[in-house]
């Protein structure tokens, strides 16, 4: 059984109880994806599967046979960081950095949802094109907690990059 992680094939664990998070961190050594609560409450473990954001602590690795997983380690283009990674630096979008990989993967998945027209709890018109206002960004990123309180910088970084991309 295989899975693709950041463009490279990997062999899934024999034990079907292994979470995708533990598979990434403990078996593949991809420690960028963080374990915060391990119960779906903090967003630190967010990764992208075929471009959609998921909580890897709530996922079993074997569920994702044949799928493409992208973690924070897979976002840079060689030595060039993803635009959102650069924006996090520019806007002070982190302090300890523990929530950052999840925030960044989540924001990329969030932008893809917005492009598909997926409404949020604060969208006034469920059928209108999504405009990523600050309120929309805050709502759509509310599953990713930052215990350092860097949320303003996080939203500023996402606003400058992903929201601008959706609006283009």
- Point out which residues bind ligand FES (CB under 6 A): 35-38, 40-45, 55, 57, 94-100, 146-148, 150
Which residues, 6 or more positions from 51, have their beta carbon under 8 angstroms from its beta carbon?
70, 109, 112
Q: Closer to ligand FES at the Cβ: 98 or 138?
A: 98
Q: Closer to ligand FES at the Cβ: 60 or 115?
A: 60
Q: What is the dihedral of CA 52, 162, 46, 30, to 10 degrees?
A: 100
Q: How far is residue 6's CA from residue 122's CA, in Å, rounded to a whole number?
A: 33
Q: How far is the CB of 137 from ligand FES (least distance, A)?
A: 16
Q: Closer to ligand FES at the Cβ: 17 or 79?
A: 17
Structure tokens at 11: 């062999």
Q: How far is the CB of 153 from ligand FES (least distance, A)?
A: 9
Q: How far is the CB of 7 from ligand FES (least distance, A)?
A: 23
User: Closest Cα partner for 85 from 69, 103, 110, 70?
Assistant: 103
Q: Closer to ligand FES at the Cβ: 22 or 136?
A: 22
Q: How far is the CB of 99 from ligand FES (least distance, A)?
A: 3
Q: Count CB-CB contacts under 10 A for residue 144.
A: 24
């Amino acid at each position: 059984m295989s899975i693709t992680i950041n463009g490279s094939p990997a062999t899934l664990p024999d034990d079907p109880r292994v979470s995708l998070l533990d598979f990434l961190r403990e078996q593949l050594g991809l420690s960028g994806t963080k374990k915060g609560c391990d119960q779906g409450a903090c967003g630190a473990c967010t990764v992208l599967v075929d471009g959609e954001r998921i909580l890897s602590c709530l996922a079993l690795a074997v569920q994702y046979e044949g799928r493409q997983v992208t973690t924070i380690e897979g976002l840079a283009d060689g030595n060039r960081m993803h635009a959102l990674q650069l924006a996090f630096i520019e806007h002070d979008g982190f302090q300890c950095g523990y929530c950052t990989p999840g925030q960044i993967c989540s924001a990329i998945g969030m932008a893809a949802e917005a492009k598909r027209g997926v409404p949020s709890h604060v969208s006034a018109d469920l059928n209108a094109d999504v405009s990523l206002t600050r309120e929309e960004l805050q709502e759509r990123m509310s599953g990713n907690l930052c215990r350092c309180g860097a949320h303003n910088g996080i939203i500023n970084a996402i606003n400058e990059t992903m929201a601008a991309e959706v609006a283009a």
